Amino acid sequence: MRKHIGMWLILLAVAALLAPAMLPAQGVPGRVNDELDMVVSALGAGQAKRVVDAANRQYEKLFVGNGWVRSAAAAYVEEPAVPHADRFMPWVGKLTSATNGYLLSLAGIGYAMLVRLNILAVWTPYVLPFLLAAMIDGAVRRRIKLMSFGFVSPVALSVALHSVVALAFLPLLYLILPVPVSPLVVPFWAIATAPPLMLLAANIQRIRG
């Protein structure tokens, strides 16, 4: 199981590094605006405003206030400097354009990540009780099996455990995806997570002292 979790952590780390380079930087404002439109459509204008206001405050505090944006701006190379360098080293212009695009995409993904964190916070009071109910239902099923000498399946336990681990990493993947994603993906994720969570709780092996 540790290898399973480690594999997902490595995949997420690689995805986080590659995400800013996956799509053109010129489309960053459009992608952010598209996602904000999805937030308004899914949560309503009032709730969307609270999500965006919270994301703006967090972005200001985390990225602007501590100097990250200033450091990124210092690393950004203005376009007029690129053709001048190309006279001597043609690869410099391409490298500079790629670096500038990466920085712009990184800023857009950072802001979108904060918006999505606040969306998760909005859904949490609804999702957690639902998942807790699924666990309780599974625990009751397990209790009934044990009292009636039913079979607790180690195979079902293994399948459920691996499924729950994989599904548990999806919210982290949701945070770093470089494309607009509807906030409605969160309740659908909860619905998909409930059955394996229930199966996991129903097939936990008896601990023998």
Phi, psi values for residue 153, rounded to 5°: -85, 120
Place of tokens 């609270």: 50
pLDDT score at 157: 84
Nearest 5°: the CA angle 76, 80, 86 is 95
Q: Say how far residue 181 (Cα) sits from the centre of its chain.
A: 10
Q: Considering only CA atoms, which of 38, 181, 194, 69 is closest in space to residue 129?
A: 194
Nearest 5°: the CA angle 48, 131, 2 is 105
- Tell me the domain boundaries of the chain: 2-202
The string of pLDDT tens digits covering residues 50-72 is 999 999 898 888 776 665 555 55
The string of pLDDT tens digits covering residues 25-39 is 666 677 778 888 998
Tally of helices (H runs) and strands (E runs) in the chain: 8, 0
